[in-house]
Structure 1
């Protein structure tokens, strides 16, 4: 695996693009300049020789490789050891990344920080309330059995990330204001939240993935618990800087990447034992039991052919965040590049016909 990309913090993206991009651009490794592609213009039919994409999608990268999809690319892919909203946005600022994999908050935050981006692929979970990504972790000895009980508690909060938005949505659902709790700003990476709960730095924190199982197992004997929040928390997106989409070669390569991305999701679901052994056990060092729990908890990926409902839900999140943070209201539809709307679903449909 290539070493992680080192970001140049001084390299910032320019201001938001207009509907029509001017000038010329060239694909990586290709000295022939090409006219910039207008945002919204039809996607090119083919990927020019020499095109390269830098992709930050640490987990699903392995599914793309294990499934054989990576070998089919007509362009070069460089995998970046980057994940999560803050790292991805930092890489976008430095022009060091073409595609990032995140939840629904980073695309909002990117626009609020003057880095226009577009969502090019979206996935959700079938039966999302029974297959949540997060549960609310409760510190040992703290009594919280419903979301209303978080009143007066210290709650972990990460602005600009999915966990932070989930906290605001939970407060809203419980009829509470931010002033009714004490928000403690902490990064949500790794096991930071679980550690903060165990040390009573916070009373409540959204924890996800295998951290849920590990937290309950490790600290349950001390009185630690987790509770369901009862909200959808399942969006997963691929998003790219708007500037990248003005490069016709990259725009075409992104379409091909989205197709492979979708097929690799179905491969994961069709080959759970191999995925658990090769990724969770051998790559991540988890036990087979933990890997099985993660697969079962994730359920089945829903990759819809239309984003209309997703955009409506995204708008609700934007409106809530705008009110709570004082940021400008955005039109959720502006976060999506609908030229790619049906690409992933059509790739799956074509695969099913074979």
Structure 2
């Protein structure tokens, strides 16, 4: 894994003043909510069963790794609605986010549905505080299966005997396992070549013939085809749902009352930013994929069109049920301990998001 990128963001404005003394008093007078006071840099400890505090002290800083939402907030002006100071980190993807969590360099990260499971399995206790899904997910997959020139794969059933790039701790690995199951195949029917999907590793692996197939995020599809389509490189739809997206944090962060309150403020505005992305695809494509990621305008438009429209669920029941099915599959296929995802989702934030969306005109 690569080391975390430097945090380089600007604090947001318009914070409400909430004296630190108020929480210090609360720590003494409301023991059923705040059970202990932390050190100099920590807020009072908050039980996971307690109600979320209304506000964080004015000097609370929330360190967030979510470049796409940062861009959406700035383009839409919603960053002016944040009453919490955000320090943005140019960190994305499961491996880098988890490494930043473990190095105490990040409070909140935006990833697909597998990194929170992998964090739990590898000893980092985390909680999911928000979720996003795609409208018509089978028509707009997050990943396509990149097929190397000459590999002869036209549909998932053709994967038998092929070498497939596989990252067990990332969403791409889950996609591979689900595609195999849907096609009636097992791991014994293919050769899984383990490698982390970071940067353009999978693109290069396909182009160099290291693997026959690799799941490619939509942002990697245009550069892959630009390089290798003339030689016979293609992509095919995975035919499985792969659209879940989450915000998650180390449990220790959420047990800090100040940070928990800051996350409460953040996720309410985060939900509005996802809705803005859904209703302003061209502006987002230009601001994020072109100006931030350095892609060509044509490729940026293609990515946004391929990904389709996002929605933010205000009831997580179905989200958790689908996620549980994936967790069960991975536990079976990767010989992991079973997880009860009812414990992974912090549903206190579900209500926060629902109230934010309702107060701003609904979905």
Distance, in Å, in 2 between the alignment partners of 1:230 and 1:272 is: 24
Partner of 1:309: 318
Whether the aligned pair in 1 keeps the contact of 2:33 and 2:51 (CA below 8 Å) is no
Could you list the per-position Cα deviations for residues 190-215 of structure 1 after superposition, in whole angstroms to 9, with x for gaps in the alignment? 22111111111000100111321332
Distance, in Å, in 2 between the alignment partners of 1:43 and 1:49 is: 16
Deviation at 1:274, TM superposition (A): 2.5
Could you tell me the TM-score, scaled by structure 2's length? 0.87
Q: 1:96 to 1:182 in 2, by over 3 A?
A: same
Deviation at 1:271, TM superposition (A): 2.7
SS in 2 for 1:310: helix
Distance, in Å, in 1 between the alignment partners of 2:254 and 2:40 is: 12
Could you tell me the TM-score, scaled by structure 1's length? 0.90
Deviation at 1:34, TM superposition (A): 5.2
Match of 2:36 among 3, 17, 23: 23
Distance, in Å, in 2 between the alignment partners of 1:27 and 1:224 is: 56
Match of 1:292 among 289, 301, 317: 301
SS in 2 for 1:210: coil
Match of 2:184 among 159, 175, 191: 175
Deviation at 1:289, TM superposition (A): 1.2
Whether the aligned pair in 2 keeps the contact of 1:53 and 1:77 (CA below 8 Å) is yes
Match of 1:271 among 274, 277, 280: 280
Deviation at 1:21, TM superposition (A): 8.3
RMSD: 2.0
SS in 1 for 2:51: coil
Distance, in Å, in 2 between the alignment partners of 1:21 and 1:332 is: 25
SS in 2 for 1:335: coil
How many residues align? The count is 335
Distance, in Å, in 2 between the alignment partners of 1:95 and 1:255 is: 20
Structure 2 residue runs of 5 or longer lacking an equivalent are 9-31
Distance, in Å, in 1 between the alignment partners of 2:241 and 2:275 is: 22
Asked if residue 147 in structure 1 is aligned to residue 160 in structure 2, the reply is no
Deviation at 1:154, TM superposition (A): 0.6
Structure 1 residue runs of 5 or longer lacking an equivalent are 7-18
Match of 1:101 among 106, 110, 117: 110
Q: For 1:1-354, list aligned pairs within 5 A.
A: 4-5=6-7, 23-25=36-38, 28=41, 35-352=44-361
Could you list the per-position Cα deviations for residues 287-308 of structure 1 after superposition, in whole angstroms to 9, with x for gaps in the alignment? 2111111221121111111111
Which deviates the most, 328-337 or 71-80? Answer: 71-80
Could you list the per-position Cα deviations for residues 142-183 of structure 1 after superposition, in whole angstroms to 9, with x for gaps in the alignment? 111121211111100012000011111111112222121111
Partner of 1:12: none
SS in 2 for 1:341: helix
Distance, in Å, in 2 between the alignment partners of 1:286 and 1:261 is: 24
Moved over 3 A (4+): 19-23
SS in 1 for 2:150: coil
Q: 1:77 to 1:220 in 2, by over 3 A?
A: same
